[in-house]
Each structure stands twice: as C-alpha cells, then as structure tokens.
Amino acid sequence: MDSQVNAVHGGVSGGGGAAVGVQIQHPRRLPDFLQSVNLKYVKLGYHYVISNLLTLCLIPLMAMLVLESSQMNPDEIHQLWVHLQYNLLSVVICSVFLVFGSTVYIMTRPKPVYLVDYACYRAPDHLKASYHKFMNHSRLTGDFDESSLEFQRKILERSGLGEETYFPEAMHSIPPRPSMAAARDEAEQVMFGALDNLFANTNVKSKDIGVLVVNCSLFNPTPSLSAMIVNKYKLRGNVRSFNLGGMGCSAGVIAVDLAKDLLQIHRNTCAVVVSTENITQNWYFGNNKSMLIPNCLFRVGGSAVLLSNKSVDRRRAKYKLVHVVRTHKGADDKAFRCVYQEQDDVGKTGVSLSKDLMAIAGGALKTNITTLGPIVLPISEQLLFFATLVVKKLFNKNIKPYIPDFTLAFDHFCIHAGGRAVIDELEKNLQLLPIHVEASRMTLHRFGNTSSSSIWYELAYIEAKGRMRKGHRVWQIAFGSGFKCNSAVWKALRNVKQPRNGPWEDCIDKYPVELVS
C-alpha cells in the first residue's frame, strides 16, 4: 500500500519538496555556461523571427510600394484615376461584396464572453483543522483501526496541506453528524458566502442574471443547489438554471463552458457560475486505504464567477474568455474507474482512488494539450514540434519528442490543486519553473483540495501578489473523475489588483512558504 501512497501523492521520494524555493544547481564549467547562454539567445532570436515573419516580409514590400509611388509623375497618376473611372462597375461590385462579407462576419462571429469578477469563500477561523486536530478527531470517532490512522498520518505529512485548512461544522463534532441538514448548511454557507462577496463587489442585481450554472459532484439534494440559490436571491422566473453533478474536480471548467455556450444564444445578459464540493455527507468512515485518501485532501471551499456578454461590461471586466478545451477518457475502462464512488466490503461508502490515477491523468493531459497546443502556441513552437516528429519518423525512432514551451503562450498557470503529485507531474512534464506552480502549491497548502473551485483560489493568489498585467494569458487546467482533463484560457483586460474580501486578504504576506519534502 505504500507504493500506492507514493503513486498518488508523491511520497517521501516525490519531487515536490521545496516547492517554491531556489533550486541549487551543480557548478558548471565556464564554456558550458557560455554555450547554454548562446543557445538561449539563439532560441529567443528564432522565436522572434518566426513570430514576426509576416511583418518582416511586409516591411520591404511596403517600402518598395512607397518608393514606387513617390516616383510616379502627375500624368501616370491621372491615367490611373481614369482607369478606375472606366471600371466603376467592378469597383462597386467589389465594394458591395466587401461590405456584405464584413456584415456576415460581424453577425455570425462568437460573442465575446467577459469575466467581470469572481469571489472565493473563506470559512471562519473556528473551522480550521490542523494536523493534530485531524488525527485526534479521527482517533476519537472510533471508526479507524491503528493501521488506517497511521496511513492517514503519512498522507497528511506528504500531502502539501498546511495547518489552516477548513472542515465543515458537522465534522468538528464528536461523533460527527453527517446529516442531510448539516450538508445543506455547509452548501449554503459556502455558496451564499461566495455569492454575497461577488454581488457586493460587482453591484449586480438579481434581474440582470439570465443564466445560473452550479456544479457540485457528490451532493445533489432536491430541490437542487441551483434552486437554493434562486430562492435565496430571488432570481427572475425565466432564469436558465443548471445543476451539474457527479462530474468531479474539473467540473468548474465544464460549468464555464456551458455558461459560455448559453451566452452565445441569450444576448445582453449575465451568467453566474458557482463551483463547490460538499464534505459533510461524503466523509469515509472505513478502513479501505484507497478510500481514506480523499479524507486527507479535500477541504471546504467554493467560488462564484460572474460572466457577461454585454459590450458595456468590457470596461469593468477583469478577463476575456479565449478558449475552452475539454478531454474525456471515459471510453477506457481503467480511466472510467480510476476515481470511483462505491461501498467497501462492510458497506461503507467512499471514493476510491486507483493506483493508475497519475498515469491516466498524464494520458488525459497529453490529449488535452495536443488539442490546445495548435491554437495557443506560437508558430515557432509548432514548427519545432512538427520538425521533431518528421525527424523521428524518417531518421531516428528513438529521438525524444519535442516538448513545446508553454511559457511562450501563457504568463500564468492555475493547475488544479488535487494533490502534491499532480502539481509535481505537470511541473516536470511541461518543464515549468517553480514560480509557475507557486499559486497551485500555495493554494493546496492554505486551503487544501477544494475540488472544482481550486483554480479560482489560485487565480486570486496571482492577483493578490500583484502579478496580473493587462494582456497576460492564464491557463486553468483541471482533472476530474470520468476521467476528464479540461482547460480554460483567459486574457487579462487590465492590470488586476488584489480583490476585495479575497481569500488571501489576511495572509498573502506570509506566502510563499517553504514546503518540507
């Protein structure tokens, strides 16, 4: 079972130790150092030339046209004007086609979707769950044997979580009281807490909301969570409301994608996307170790996002949605069952994590970036990738495939804080720097795995650090049961400051912290 711990959570030997610290390099000889510097500038020069190839080609052509026109005498200019007069019909037809084509393009192009603002829920301090409190609580419940308690202790030590994550109210009681009423209380506190902050920051009115999308994987009561929000905020009777259940930690991106599609149909309106998970009724009280892992990682959290297709909202919006790419590997049986809710041998319900989880996540990621890469990467990176494939096919089958440099396409990365091993793997496979995964590691440390809302805590971290500038591109990437890998790409429309009532407001100065290995 220790091998399973290491596989899923990057155990003692995992590479996620000092996550944001400076990595010490072995000293290199001066010629090697100079060679690496030269190669760096050669690559930068190559990217600049290829990315600006059209401009570099047009400049000489424009210079030649200007030079030619400056050398034309008045008689030649008069002859050109007479020629155009005699071909008036051709000019008019071309103009009509140009105007018609432009009109069709403007009318049929996708409507821009703007992210006006968002808010993340931060639980009150009395709901904090330290390592000691977690272990003491688990021991006092009397549901876990010594082997299971020791297993949970090891997971906590290697998880990357800090001492200030939150449990719901019901799980602080001895014994715990995972009732339907307590689960509803948790859902209301999280959703309404995030929405209250969002509405206060944006001054949006209930009559302005035309679309509501709520996602929560494991808690789906009747009336639905979306109906609870409609009732609380008295949303209008024709609001398009949707409740997504059972879609895992990547459902936040799915909810955004659904809202985007609805905003293409319903013009001049706003959409609210609420992403959360519910712990109260989904705590595992058994001794199956693969089902104990979620107990150690999942914590209270939620987000509310305000989207708009109104052109007037562009001026106050933070971001514009650029791309959404969704990958589903559910046709494969192993992928389908790698995160699976079921009952153990004694009938206790929990979510089991397969030892193949990381390999399956890697395959889903590969498929996702294969689709995403061509639409976000500069042509220079695409040419290098294609050239490597050609060389590998024709000359050497053992050559390693070229890994595109995604830092040329994105300025910030919000990797789902599902666990330390997930962040480690993406940092290694995408060849990212510690600064690129800092937001993910610190979100995992401060708030734990908050499921589909974790990517919004990470974006809030980047903003709180003052790193978001106009024109910056953000890649949100999340994994979920099914098995799914989903990506959303946003472009900042202005310099974004630390949000009011943000989740990092009282602690951002403490971060980043050094994580133990």
Tell me which residues are annotated as active site. Answer: 249, 328, 412, 416, 445, 449
Q: Find out whether 208 and 269 touch, Cβ atoms under 8 Å.
A: yes
Q: For residue 174, what is the DSSP state?
A: S
Output the CA torsion 90→93→95→101 (10° steps). Answer: -140
| Pairing status of strand 473-480 against strand 412-415 | parallel
DSSP letters of 376-440?
HS-HHHHHHHHHHHHHHHHT-TTSPPP---GGGT-SEEEE--S-HHHHHHHHHHTT--GGGSHHH
Long-range contacts of 77-83 (CB under 8 A, 24+ apart): none
| Residues 254, 472: Cα–Cα separation, whole Å | 23
Strand residue runs (E) in 89-236: 114-120, 209-215
What region, left, alpha or beta, does residue 127 occupy, with left being phi > 0 and alpha being psi -120 to 50 degrees? alpha
> Are residues 280 and 309 in contact, defined by beta-carbon separation less than 8 angstroms?
no
Show Cβ contacts of residue 153 under 8 Å, excluding neighbours closer than 6 positions: 135
Cβ pair 419, 449 in contact under 8 A: yes
Q: Whose structure tokens read 């795995």?
A: 449
